[in-house]
Chains A and B, each alone.
Chain A
Amino acid sequence: MKKVLSGNAAAAYGSKLARAEVISAYPITPQTKIVEKIADLIAVGEFETEFVKVESEHSAMAAAVSASLVGARTFTATSSQGLLLMHEILHWASASRTPIVMVNINRALAPPWSVWADHTDTVAQRDTGWMQFYCESCQEVLDTMLQLYKIAEDKDVMLPAMLSEDAFLLSHTSEIVDMPDQDMVDDFLGSFEPENIMDVDNPMSFGSLSMPHQYFYEFRYKIAEAMEIARSKILEVEKDFEKRFGRSYGGFIDLYRCDDAEIVLVAAGSMSSTIRVAIDELREKGEKIGLARLRVFRPFPIEEFREIAKKAKKIGVLDRSFCFGYEGAFFTEIKSALFDIDERPIVKGYVVGLGGRDVTLDVIHEIIDDCQATTDTRTEPFKWIGLSR
């Protein structure tokens, strides 16, 4: 069934189609429409779920972890400050091996107050043990949510996953979305059947003290291992999804006109759509430019970037976040992935769009021009684009 849905509504319907059994969430602009839509779906009798309207994001995540340990499929959504308030419990979730799925609307962090698009909130959660996905369209939001439950709940993965969409640019943009039939989703997903749950008939303790010589270190290794297993599951699940629903997004990296591209731009989220337009324009003029849209940030697509680097002469990396005292995180990580290969392309970084600053066609063209002109990155490895001084 086709429906006109915003990125927020797509997330709400995603939780319904996945039959999330417990949802704990707190309102925050621009995510609020997700919790409102879920409340509406419950109110009209279309969605049966336990909706816990918690008093903070910290509690939203804590309740989700606890509910998941009882064996319930859980969902939550947040943004920006809310995601940061959850930070402690994000670690708790991955270390508890609770496959929670969360939608985060990428929004800038205060001060100054800003409710607009910026990836700093999710990039700052890089090391929490969550899988991290960035989406470009409302359809992709809905489809990826369903995929994430399947990946996260895989018994060899059992890790939480967050899906990111840009504030307003996607959260509040309405598009035609093909809503899959519930039967098909049920068949694809199945129910959540974890091996170990809280059960009064089989009492277990979750998270007991571990001494340094004991299991803590090994537990952490198991998370690292699960992240590696998730690599193949992400691809398997997308293949299965494509077979059933006829849509796919390229797995870790969504490649656009990259086959013969001399310059490949790397970006995540909504600005990818603008880059596609710029590429089409330049391709008309015979310029060989492509886009590698970063869809999965954790686990990081190391091999995929190495493949791109084999063919491209230059890679321009757009970061909608900045790690103070160094550079953009995507930029750092891509360079690190290419460290071991014999012939490295030129990799240049571009800081764009912080606090919702528009990443326009002009911005993209400026980046492409700069990329074309760059022959050496030693003096200026990266640039802030469109900065007023």
Chain B
Amino acid sequence: MKITLPEDEIMEKGHMACLGCGGALAMRYLLKALGRKTMVAIPACCWAVIPGVFPYSCLEVPLQYVAFEATGAAISGIEAALKAKGKKEGTTVVGWAGDGGTLDIGIQALSGAVERGHDVKYVCYDNEAYMNTGIQRSSATPKGAWTTTTPVGNTRFWKKTNKKNIVEIMAAHDIPYTCTASVAYPEDLIKKAKKMKDIKGPCYMHIYAPCPTGWKYPPEKTIELSRLATETCIFPIYEVTYGKYKLNKNIRDEKKKPVLEYLKTQGRFRKLDEETVQSIQHYVDDEWIKLKKKVECFGEEK
């Protein structure tokens, strides 16, 4: 198979991410797609540390570190200023935040920014918990997961609720483009990032970015595990372009793997009981059916 990733490395060597960090890969791919005429705002998250300590940075694009809940507002301000200065044309404005900064504390500013229709690209790299502060649950943490604030113990005090479906929340904002991507499928991620760059208006990309440190798995398994998340339909790869749904990785029924195969790969699900595994399976099945229905009803014209 011919690999067609852009060769330019805009994320340089010397970053401070953990071994096997999905979020580090995600940034590398994203910048390859968007190119050097990109401005980035990053709130508190692992990526507030990964670029390096002042005065060093592994990112060769202008970068603003912003307050935890402020990413949506920051990129609105950058875009407005570029417009005021007559410099917007050809420049891509990116908000790059973790799941806590997106689904929890940053959801208001994000919602406001896309509703106002700024020409901004918001990318969430989802490692399913507050990893930078040391693995606390967020609303992106899946049901059944151990974190330091859902520490299991004798009372089975794991995360009790399902993950917030931010992708559908963003699609419901009726913005030009919403998509999911995974570090397991770099060509798909890059294609989508390029598509976002060409669309004038707010776009949202949700990247599945496994965290070996927080999920308790060997760092060399990041890609394998990411692929499994999609093959079990836990993390479907799809896009919504001007309201039209499209599955980019269709998983045929006979190929769909049980969630248990995915759950078994990570220490954070180690103590789950059968009943909870069942309920996760049901939830994933239901969500998958819903998504396929949306593709059927609101798919791109054949």
Interface residues of A (CB under 8 A from B): 21-22, 24, 49-50, 52-56, 58-60, 62-72, 74, 88-89, 92, 198-200, 202-211, 214-215
Contacts and interface: CB of A to CB of B under 8 A. Distances in A.
Contact of A55 (B56, B62, B109): B109
Given A50-B84, A209-B54, 14 more contacts: A50-B81, A53-B116, A54-B73, A55-B112, A59-B72, A62-B67, A63-B76, A63-B77, A70-B78, A70-B85, A88-B67, A204-B63, A206-B62, A208-B54
A206 B87 CA distance: 19
A214 B53 CA distance: 10
A82 to B, nearest CB: 14
- Of the four ranges (under 10, 10 to 19, 20 to 34, 35 or more), the interface on chain B belongs to 35 or more
B57 A208 contact: yes
Contact of A52 (B57, B80, B87, B111): B80
A208 B53 contact: yes
B36 interface: yes
B67 A89 contact: yes
A22 B108 contact: no
Nearest to B91: A200
Contact of A71 (B36, B67, B81, B111): B81
Contacts of A59: 70, 72-73, 76, 108-109, 112
21 contacts: A21-B85, A22-B81, A22-B84, A50-B81, A52-B80, A53-B116, A55-B115, A58-B70, A59-B73, A63-B76, A65-B77, A66-B78, A68-B81, A72-B85, A74-B77, A89-B70, A203-B36, A205-B57, A208-B51, A208-B56, A209-B52
A66 B76 CA distance: 8
Contacts of A21: 81, 84-85
A24 B70 CA distance: 13
Interface stretch (B37-45, B171-179, B266-274): B37-45
B153 interface: no
Interface of B: 36-39, 41, 48-49, 51-57, 59-67, 69-70, 72-78, 80-85, 87, 91, 108-109, 111-112, 115-116
The B contact surface, by secondary structure, is mixed
Q: Count chain A CB atoms within 10 A of each CB in B52, B74, B111 and give the residue with the most.
A: B74
A24 B36 contact: no
Contact of B85 (A71, A88, A203): A71
B65 A208 contact: yes
Q: Count chain B CB atoms within 10 A of each CB in A70, A203, A210 and give the residue with the most.
A: A70
Contact of B51 (A50, A55, A205, A214): A205
Q: Count chain A CB atoms within 10 A of each CB in B56, B73, B75 and give the residue with the most.
A: B73
B109 A22 contact: no
Contacts of A49: 84
A205 B82 CA distance: 17
Contacts of B48: 209
Contacts of B56: 208
A128 B111 CA distance: 28
B72 A66 contact: no
A58 B51 CA distance: 26
Contacts of B55: 208
A22 B61 CA distance: 23
B33 to A, nearest CB: 16
Contact of B108 (A56, A198, A210): A56
Given A50-B84, A203-B63, A22 B77 contact: yes
